[in-house]
Structure 1
Amino acid sequence: MCIFCPACCEGRFREAPEVTRRSRTSAKETMRIFALPLLSQLVMVGAFAQAPTAAPAPDSTKGLTISHAGVRPVVDGSPKFFTGSAKVEQLFPANAPSRVSGGIVTFAPGARSAWHTHPLGQVLIITAGTGRVQKEGGPIQVVHAGDVVIIPAHVKHWHGAAPDSSMSHIAIQDNLDGDTVDWLEPVTDQQYNGGK
């Protein structure tokens, strides 16, 4: 019986009369080629899933940490790293053993970061407004609320608001030996405007 479509193997669906015996055999052979490895994988997964394992001991010293909105401090972005008005709110630090930290950055219209890189990359989740993102040598990309930008490690880039809209994003990055970002030179007005 076919695990993908039981009805076809039980004869409820008939092949068109022009289908030859050879093509039916080829279809069955194809099914066998794909179904057998899948079935063997399912059997292995089932065996591992049912293998007895020791339950982890409950850790009564650690619990959930909740960082409530409105309680976290919001600071002005440093003029060394931002052009225009930017507000930075740390959502969570990289507490060992985790290396991941995150924050919300809100840019006023026309505001942007300086050029920078991340040693292990960065993810931006655009939460409000319209913004711009550019990697060195590439075109300016327009981003909107709901967009996700994935920036690989060591890629020189900048991000900020559109000229006529504010923009907020959640920034998530890993730290490498305590470093999450390498700040470079400011983005000029000409670069921000696409060379115009």
Structure 2
Amino acid sequence: MIKHENVKNGVIFPAGEKNEAFSQFFVGQSYLKTLIADPKVSVGVGNVTFEPGCRNNWHVHRNGFQLLLVTGGEGWYQEEGKPAQFLQAGDVIITHDGVKHWHGAAKDSWFEHIAITAGTPEWLEPVTDEEYQKLT
């Protein structure tokens, strides 16, 4: 059974289009709706929606940070060397400069968050199926 199917249409903001520009950095399908992309503002803001099982690669933010505001569904966030954190609507994640991490949907749930990002992402290796399947 797939949970939180209402998320695929966007909970607060629209889900956006298929995230083709970053698809090589995701396992599974994600969708992106850019909310703020103003060159006079030092952060980007986007609504990211993940199909069940979708997650992004390990990555770091250089000379910046990332804030995740979970708006719907169920998902995961993990920093390197730490246990994964289960996420649901209302959770807030702060990722500091240079911290290796990943985030994405639970296996059986759609997932959505607002990402507020400063700096430059450095995309790394995918989260392996073996690592991901261990999450419950």
Shorter-chain TM-score: which interval? 0.7 to 0.9
CA distance in 1, matches of 2:128, 2:79: 14
**Which residue identity lines up with residue 194 of structure 1 in the other structure?**
K
- Larger Cα-atom Rg: 1
Partner of 2:73: 129
TM-score (norm. length: structure 1):
0.58
Give the Cα separation in 1 of the matches to 2:95 and 2:24: 22
Flag structure 2 segments of 5+ consecutive residues without an equivalent: 1-12
Check 1:116–1:145 CA distance in 2 against 1; reply closer, same or farther (3 A cut).
same
CA distance in 1, matches of 2:113, 2:34: 12
State the match for 2:97 in structure 1: 153
Equivalent of residue 188 in structure 1, options 121, 128, 135: 128
Number of positions where the alignment pairs a residue of Structure 1 with one of Structure 2? 122
Q: Within 1, Cα distance between the matches of 2:90 and 2:60?
A: 23
> Aligned partners of 2:112 and 2:16: how far apart in 1?
16
Provide closer, same or farther for how the CA distance between residues 195 and 125 of structure 1 changes in structure 2, counting only shifts above 3 A.
closer
Unaligned runs of 5+ in 1: 1-68
Q: Which has the higher helix share?
A: 1
Deviation at 1:87, TM superposition (A): 0.7
Verify: 1:174 aligned to 2:118, yes or no: yes
TM-score norm. by structure 2 comes to 0.82
Counterpart of 2:82 (choices 138, 141, 148) is 138
- Asked if the contact 2:56–2:104 (Cα under 8 Å) also holds between the matched residues in 1, the reply is yes
Aligned to 1:115: 58
